[in-house]
Structure 1
């Protein structure tokens, strides 16, 4: 919603999503969106914060353990963030991120087991904070690493992002990454009918309740044309066709 403007949401849901993003512990939303927009604009080049061309380890976690490439700093200053800067809720989270993170990502998750079922402080901290953070963050990082190396490229063959069932399972639908880089503004982040896409189902459920609206999605015709023109031949329906055959069929 914030990175690609794929849909809009009512204010109460925005607040809930901001709290969830805070719990995820991946920096404030403003920084996350800037990095993600930069990743798409300069994907797998020196201007990409987690450039997969530098190897699996770098794109997974190494980019957070090293100084930013000068191109990352230079290109990051050019990313338009005016839409987020006009959102008071986003900027409130940005200004108070550390306090909000301590409250929602550490204090509340740790206190609930202690208060509700007499868990020890040590166990609660180790499981409800450290284990949860390590598991969820590494699952998210697989989108930057595994899904830029292993898998198929049915929609755009000359980029690193791939479609992979494994990451789609772990990241609740975010593993159809070749599609996402081809149509980044599509709210589904995957082709219609792709399995393991619980995030898409959640968004559609919220749309049915009127909580989100103005959903954007690529049409089947757009998807087919792209597969035939730029795909690697792995698409289950049109992968073995050619763009010339598609054009001939359309002209008949």
Structure 2
């Protein structure tokens, strides 16, 4: 699939090399993130030595809510449509993503969809071939491509455009973020348990946004940390196994991004977000969770090697079967 994607985009890439080179560093953004990281690390230091216990718990609560908004929301729901959510869950996700302070959900989804569509090519905004630092940091500091209109035509955003909560957040993002994501959280710690404004600003303001910003960036660069390279042994045969759980599941995600069980950071159906999605499903807040089985994958691979079916066609058939099974499960669930 990756090879066919590169082949399909070779012509457009060769004609746009000049445009890619024109992308420049946004110095205002660089200054903002520089100061955010400086104040954020000071805030993390204060978190361990000066903060009240309620501030610590509040910090963890806000980071967790933001994490859910970024992963279960922007990533799995809106970028990859791995499930269908009720209006209550979509409203919660909109608020959670706003609290995370990483820009509007519409923009995040647009760039992540672009990342998947052009994966492994020069048009990929988080190009993994250029290394972790580029993918995780530099890519978020570059100016918008001069032919952004071409990207907008290539990326299908109709499903996101039709969501009223995403539209509202995009329209009023800065008002919502300043009030809900910055002023109120900082003020709450001062009012309700008498935390100092300095501690609250550095911990609930800067340190929290430092964490959520890097979580947002990691979703696009995680493969370079938790993923295995082509031909690598599994289990891994190096010391990193003691610090990181490397697997092929992130590689799987780039082949079948619509599988709801794929965790953002290297596992499959065993993380916090998968647990939350299962809980929402049991409570009736979401449905049509798309996934596949080993048998379906084996059958798809068999068709590729035994017929003229391409890998892309086989994976498209797997996705169609997953959508049909998810819809049938929804009907059974409601009865």
Shift of 1:69: 4.5
CA RMSD of aligned residues (A): 3.2
Q: Greater helix share, 1 or 2?
A: 2
| Compared CA separation, residues 198 and 98, structure 1 to 2 (3 A) | same
Contact 2:102 2:216 survives alignment (8 Å): no
Matching of residues 172-183 of structure 1 within 5 Å = 176-183=249-256
User: Larger RCO: Structure 1 or Structure 2 (Cα < 8 Å, ≥ 6 residues apart)?
Assistant: 2
Aligned to 2:175: 99
Deviation (angstroms), 1:225: 6.0
Give the whole-Å Cα distance in 2 for the aligned partners of 1:130 and 1:177. Answer: 30
From 187, 202, 208, give the equivalent of 1:126.
202
Q: Separation in 2 of the partners of 1:225 and 1:42?
A: 27
When residues 56 and 208 of structure 1 are mapped into structure 2, their CA distance, relative to the original with a 3 A threshold, is same
Indicate which of 277, 288, 291 corresponds to 1:217.
291
Provide the TM-score with structure 2 as the length reference: 0.57
Larger CA Rg, structure 1 vs 2: 2
Aligned to 1:233: none
How far the C-alpha of 1:222 sits from its partner, in A, is: 3.1
Deviates more, 1:66-75 or 1:214-223: 66-75
- Report the CA distance between 1:229 and its aligned residue: 11
Contact preservation (8 Å) 2:83, 2:286? yes
Secondary structure at the residue paired with 1:112?
A: helix
Is the 1:48–1:72 contact (alpha carbons within 8 Å) kept by the matching residues of 2? no
What is residue 187 of structure 1 aligned with on the other side? 260
Query: How many Å apart are 1:208 and its aligned residue?
Result: 0.2
Q: Point out where structure 2 has 5 or more consecutive residues left out of the alignment.
A: 1-76, 305-335
CA contact (8 A) 1:49 1:68 kept: no
In 1, the alpha carbon distance for the partners of 2:171 and 2:108 equals 14
Q: Does 2:78 align with 1:5?
A: no
Contact 1:146–1:167 (Cα < 8 Å) also in 2: no
* Pairing 1:31-42 to 2, within 5 Å after superposition: 31-42=107-118
Partner of 1:113: 189
2:260·2:289 contact (CA, 8 Å) conserved in 1? yes
2:262–2:268 CA contact under 8 A, matched in 1? no
Q: C-alpha deviations, 1:122-162, integer Å up to 9, x for none? A: 11011001101112322332333342355325xxx49xxxx
Do 1:180 and 1:186's aligned partners in 2 also have CA atoms closer than 8 Å? yes
**Structure 1 counterpart SS, 2:79:** coil
The one of 92, 98, 103 equivalent to 1:22 is 98
Cα drift, residue 68 of structure 1: 3.7
Q: CA deviation at 1:11?
A: 0.5
CA displacement 1:62-112 (0-9 Å, x = unmatched) = 112222445666324421111221222211111001111112210221112
Name the TM-score, length of structure 1 as normaliser.
Answer: 0.75
Q: Which runs of 5+ in 1 are unaligned?
A: 170-174, 231-252
Count how many residue pairs are aligned between Structure 1 and Structure 2: 217
